Amino acid sequence: MSPLREVPDRVSAGSPNPISDMAKYQQMYDYALEDLDRFWLGVAREKITWMKEPSIGLSGSFSEIPDGPLSWFNDGKLNVTESCLDSNLASRGEKIAILWEGDEPDECRRITYNELHGEVCRAANALKELGVSKGDRVIIYMGMVPEAAVAMLACARIGAIHSVVFGGFSAESLRDRVLDCDSRVIITQDEGMRGSRKIPLKDVCDEALEGDTPVQKVLVYRRTGGDVQWDDSRDVWWQDIVPEQSTECAATECDAEDPLFILYTSGSTGMPKGLVHTCGGYITFTSYTHETVFDLREDDVYACMADVGWITGHSYIVYGPLANGATSLMFESIPTYPDAGRYWDMVARHGITIFYTAPTAIRALAAQGNDFVTAHDRSSLRVLGTVGEPINPDAWNWYYDVVGEGRCNIVDTWWQTETGGICITPIAPATPTTGGSATLPIPGIVPLLNDADGNRIDGEGEGLLCLEYPWPGQARTVWGDHPRFVSTYFEHFPGLYFTGDGCKRDSRGYYWITGRVDDVINVSGHRMGTAEFESVLVSHDSVAEAGVVGFPHPIKGSGVYSYIVLQPDETWSMDFADELNLLCRKQIGAHAKIDLFQHVPGLPKTRSGKVMRRILRKVAEGEPDALGDISTLADPSVVDAIKDGAKTL
């Protein structure tokens, strides 16, 4: 078993956390388990500003989900922006809410809670002027500017449902999402900035909106002043309409179960699904986990390096931190601009105390050598976090020893878009850690490991990770398609939530996530479905069939490996591979890149025509001799061709 690192004194000393050591963790865990309703209702009432306090915890159960979504705090009424903004004004009005660092290191904005409240109200009033009302969907397609957070909160202020689309997605992906959630308004910006490169967000929006769409208004924040096309009847400059509004906007009363946002995420099959998160449960869960896991203190400078286009940005840049009155840093650029010391330079300049990023960034930076780190003063750091994919012990140790100089605890936080917030993680001042393990569930979360046949694994073992009981932060449904929600998460093991992850539990009870067991791949922290790639590849006239799988990649976690069967008479070339990658970029987005192409004569199929993906995976993982039983294959010679071809890549 790997050695444990005890919590450094500096992390545990003076912690205000009710869970400040392992005995208290165990007490709290047991207390929650005794009566989950009582536990979560207590958290919701204590932490959240309600217009009408809830008296009910959970209604429904996993077994009843096929009949309709379950609910939390059903009789409560609130507006989440009151927790994030108004409740902070009296005691923290002049505290910095959003500390923004732009693409260039000298570009900073410091927005206080008073200012953020005013800006959100202004933007909310502007949205009303554009015809947005409660329940309407608003797509936000922006880079990492404070106005993206303002836009999200402005929607929430008036009960509109936002759907943030990551700024790397292509016009086609954006259009799919606009159509799926039937949004009449989009908020975007002229251009985004990343590592001195300009990202043409408004141009992509224009392309996405060609032809018929429900979109009537596009609100455009001017970030760079670059040239953009303009449609007078549709487009409105943020700067023309928002600043002139009143800084007061009464918060719209919402039911606890009204949708707060939709976030699209990739699954095993088809088009990404729009997961729906609701107001009361989501804000309760994100604020509780943010405060508890990171051991938030009043004077912390908290920095999460995610993008607001992903769930981490929603939960742990915007909603959780603001509901806790924290100073939340928002970063527009990339970790290697102007050089690989950017993160640590920011730590020194802003006095960052809690720093949260993805293993892929840690691996990429570790590969650049220690000098970029040691050149900057990191003495302010107390808690380091990781999220998004398994972290290998080497990268973990580098983060612990080099970045944190052994003074910080690392919280390796396991969770998903679906879970809304952190579920399995160390709690900074309490949990001894060990590289590669997400350690233990937070109070109120009950993990369970099953074997493939649905038999529960007790004690030490390896299996499929499920969660046994509902929790407030979980997604309630898939927008417009509840049956898909049920079949994706609740059919595998009826009565349980199935995460799609494989996981080991060691003799200490610590959890070690081993990665996805379905056709989802986490590439550089971006979650993608192999089916999405396959549908792009076969849309090319010269491609007959395509099979895409992940393979271990030293920096990205997973790389993308594709097997291509060409139409008769077509010939394979590297130029053609580039063409296929361009197509992925165009149809999915800039982050969708295939690392390896293998031209094959056919895909391994069973006699009933089903592709045996296990074979594709094993060959891509470099284990061609561990294919298992291949006797059901229609044409076993295909396997030899695939194995031989793989050797030459």
Which stretches of the chain bind ligand PRX, using CB under 6 A? Answer: 265, 311-312, 387-390, 412-417, 438, 499-501, 513, 515-516, 522, 527
Determine the Cα–Cα distance for residues 637 and 440; give it in Å rounded to an integer.
Answer: 46
Q: Measured from the CB of residue 119, what is the shortest distance to ligand PRX in angstroms?
A: 27
- The span from the first CA to the last CA of the chain, in angstroms, equals 36
Q: Measured from the CB of residue 479, what is the shortest distance to ligand PRX in angstroms?
A: 16
Residue 370 sits at φ, ψ, to 5 deg, of: -80, -20
Nearer to ligand PRX, 159 or 441 (CB): 441
Strands 354-357 and 383-387: parallel
Nearer to ligand PRX, 238 or 396 (CB): 396
Q: Measured from the CB of residue 440, what is the shortest distance to ligand PRX in angstroms?
A: 13
Geometric angle at alpha carbon 516, from 512 and 522, rounded to 5°: 105
8 Å CB contact between 315 and 421: yes
Determine the Cα–Cα distance for residues 84 and 324; give it in Å rounded to an integer.
Answer: 7
Residue 187 sits at φ, ψ, to 5 deg, of: -110, 125
Token pair in block for residue 134: 């409660």
Cα distances from 143 to residues 147, 157, 618, in angstroms, run 9, 21, 38
Q: Measured from the CB of residue 311, what is the shortest distance to ligand PRX in angstroms?
A: 5
The SS3 of residue 580 is: helix
Nearer to ligand PRX, 159 or 500 (CB): 500
Determine the Cα–Cα distance for residues 460 and 438; give it in Å rounded to an integer.
Answer: 15
Q: Measured from the CB of residue 32, what is the shortest distance to ligand PRX in angstroms?
A: 21
Q: Measured from the CB of residue 182, what is the shortest distance to ligand PRX in angstroms?
A: 24
What one-letter code names the amino acid at 104?
Answer: E
Using alpha carbons, select from 75, 586, 16 the residue that is nearest to residue 300.
16
Determine the Cα–Cα distance for residues 298 and 441; give it in Å rounded to an integer.
Answer: 25
Token pair in block for residue 231: 């449609």
Q: Measured from the CB of residue 379, what is the shortest distance to ligand PRX in angstroms?
A: 26
Map tokens 């995460």 to a residue.
499
What one-letter code names the amino acid at 552?
Answer: P
Using alpha carbons, select from 63, 60, 480 the residue that is nearest to residue 259.
480
**Farthest CA pair distance, the chain:** 73
640's CB contacts (< 8 A; 6+ apart) are none
The SS3 of residue 255 is: strand
Q: Measured from the CB of residue 489, what is the shortest distance to ligand PRX in angstroms?
A: 11
Nearer to ligand PRX, 84 or 438 (CB): 438
Token pair in block for residue 200: 């043409």
Nearer to ligand PRX, 133 or 268 (CB): 268
Nearer to ligand PRX, 428 or 564 (CB): 428
Q: Measured from the CB of residue 49, what is the shortest distance to ligand PRX in angstroms?
A: 26
Q: Measured from the CB of residue 400, what is the shortest distance to ligand PRX in angstroms?
A: 15
Strands 383-387 and 409-413: parallel
Nearer to ligand PRX, 388 or 473 (CB): 388
Nearer to ligand PRX, 278 or 312 (CB): 312
Q: Measured from the CB of residue 17, what is the shortest distance to ligand PRX in angstroms?
A: 20
Strands 557-566 and 596-599: parallel
Nearer to ligand PRX, 438 or 603 (CB): 438
Nearer to ligand PRX, 130 or 422 (CB): 422
Q: Measured from the CB of residue 536, what is the shortest distance to ligand PRX in angstroms?
A: 20
Determine the Cα–Cα distance for residues 315 and 261; give it in Å rounded to an integer.
Answer: 11
Map tokens 């149809």 to a residue.
587
Nearer to ligand PRX, 284 or 413 (CB): 413
Determine the Cα–Cα distance for residues 385 and 391; give it in Å rounded to an integer.
Answer: 11
Cα distances from 187 to residues 117, 180, 184, 318, 629, in angstroms, run 19, 17, 10, 17, 52
Nearer to ligand PRX, 188 or 265 (CB): 265
